[in-house]
Amino acid sequence: MTTIIRKINRSFIDKKTIEEAGNILRQGGLVAFPTETVYGLGAHALKKEAAKKIYKAKGRPSDNPLIIHIAKYDDLRKIVKEVSLKAESLAREFWPGPLTMIFKKEDIVPLETTGGLSTVAVRMPDDEIALALIESGGGYVAAPSANASGRPSPTLAEHVREDLEGKIEMILDGGPVFIGLESTIIDMTGETPMILRPGYITKEMIENTIGKVEEDETLMTGLASNVKPKAPGMKYRHYAPKGELTIVEGPIENVIKEINQMVDRKIKKGLKVGIIGTDETKLLYSQGNVKSIGSRKNEESIARHLYQILREFDELDVSCIYTEAFDTPKMGQAIMNRLLKAAGHHVVHV
Ligand code: TXA
Ligand code: MG
């Protein structure tokens, strides 16, 4: 199949392009589109054949449920059984935005979309292109991140092209995304809401709105092999860089010293090595292929570049990558959750 790639300008959205993309969705095809978090791979969420195509294009296990994207709050009622007062408050505060809520699903939502679960994840993205596309595509768009399964989530249309060109009908290229990490997921079906995936919307922000919430205790520790994950997607080793990734954690002077020593040993063995530093530290690494992920003074810049930098190191074919830890004040938990997964929880403390 030939994938149509259309550039689209967020401040002047071309109606014809949206119409063309919406048509594809209504006819059961696949369209990749930007959201504020990462690019999504969209299909009509209420057509089971369409949802199935997503799994095929991504090579995604069929028990890993999809998030349904909506464009209007009132559209939520049709697909979920009950919206609690807390869920309503969260929607009022954070939608449109990078927060996904899990509800009990209505029968109209096919099990193909929810990976066989009786619950459904829903979010309203904060991106004019995404919202226009959802409206035009019938109001309910199932969309996982638009990467091939096992690769980092795409933060540029170019990443989507690398992974999915020839497998989907269309890519809407709206330029780089704003946040760069997937949405926060919170399960609203239990007595106390529980965060299943950390993101831009932090536990503190949520608790300021609805009071106490819990946090899945495996978020930062990884899953023991006998534990069933609460978000099915969390059990998959999401993404492992081709090079072995090691996180070095501790006071920054020690981190730099340790990374320099480890890099030196690898280079003496003739290996190609990558280093993830920051604008503040990149000049302090003496050897290896050093990339700055962003500035510690601007944690958003670190989140925004994480997936891109991991893709770049895959392309360079380094055999190991060393990275500083990024326990930044707000997004640190989300950044470290993704980084720990990519590193298979391989951390050196100094
Ligand atoms: O920011 C985002 O959320 C992006 C953009 C495109 O919106 N989407 C995204 O989708 O990250 P995906 O499929 O890559 O991740 C969805 C996660 C998976 O870990 C999945 O297991 C979990 O959400 N999930 C979906 N429905 C669920 C449900 N009913 N119960 C528990 N976990 C669920
Ligand atoms: Mg994903």
Give the model's pLDDT for residue 238.
67
Contact 130, 68 (CB under 8 A): no
Centre of ligand 2 from the C-alpha of residue 31, in Å: 16
Mean pLDDT of 197-217: 97
DSSP letters for 233-280: GGGS-----SSEEEEEESSHHHHHHHHHHHHHHHHHTT--EEEEE-TT
- Nearest ligand 1 atom to the CA of 120 is 29
SS3 78: coil
- Nearest ligand 1 atom to the CA of 123 is 7
How far apart CA 140 and CA 135 sit, in angstroms, is: 8
Tens-digit pLDDT profile for residues 242-267: 899 999 999 999 999 999 999 999 99
Q: Given a cut of 80, is residue 42 above it in pLDDT?
A: yes
Residue identified by tokens 């071309």 is 14
pLDDT averaged over every residue in the chain: 95
- Structural tokens at position 287: 């050897």
Give the model's pLDDT for residue 224.
67
How far apart CA 258 and CA 254 sit, in angstroms, is: 6
Give the model's pLDDT for residue 229.
73
Q: Given a cut of 80, is residue 226 above it in pLDDT?
A: no
Among 215-219, 258-262, 319-323, name the one with the lowest average pLDDT: 215-219
Q: Given a cut of 70, is residue 271 above it in pLDDT?
A: yes
How far apart CA 146 and CA 139 sit, in angstroms, is: 19
Mean pLDDT of 91-107: 98
Q: Given a cut of 80, is residue 235 above it in pLDDT?
A: no
Give the model's pLDDT for residue 222.
75
More confident residue, 11 or 231: 11
How far apart CA 263 and CA 271 sit, in angstroms, is: 9
Phi-psi region of 186 (alpha: psi -120 to 50; beta: other; left: phi over 0): beta
Is the CB–ligand 1 distance for residue 111 below 6 Å? Answer: no
Is the CB–ligand 1 distance for residue 40 below 6 Å? Answer: yes
Among 73-77, 105-109, 141-145, 230-234, name the one with the lowest average pLDDT: 230-234
Helices 332-342 and 299-316: crossing angle in degrees, nearest 10, is 10
Q: Given a cut of 90, is residue 296 above it in pLDDT?
A: yes
Tens-digit pLDDT profile for residues 127-184: 999 999 999 999 999 999 999 998 999 999 999 999 999 999 999 999 999 999 999 9
Q: Measuring from atom 17 of ligand 1, which residue has the nearest CA?
A: 233
Among the bound ligands, name the one nearest to the CA of residue 38: 1
Contact 276, 282 (CB under 8 A): no
Confidence of residue 13 (pLDDT cuts 50, 70, 90): very high
Around Cβ 225, how many Cβ atoms within 10 Å?
6
How far apart CA 174 and CA 177 sit, in angstroms, is: 8
Amino acid at 32: A
Contact 221, 227 (CB under 8 A): no
Residues, the chain, total?
A: 350
Residue identified by tokens 């904060």 is 126
Around Cβ 212, how many Cβ atoms within 10 Å?
9
Q: Given a cut of 70, is residue 207 above it in pLDDT?
A: yes
Give the model's pLDDT for residue 219.
83
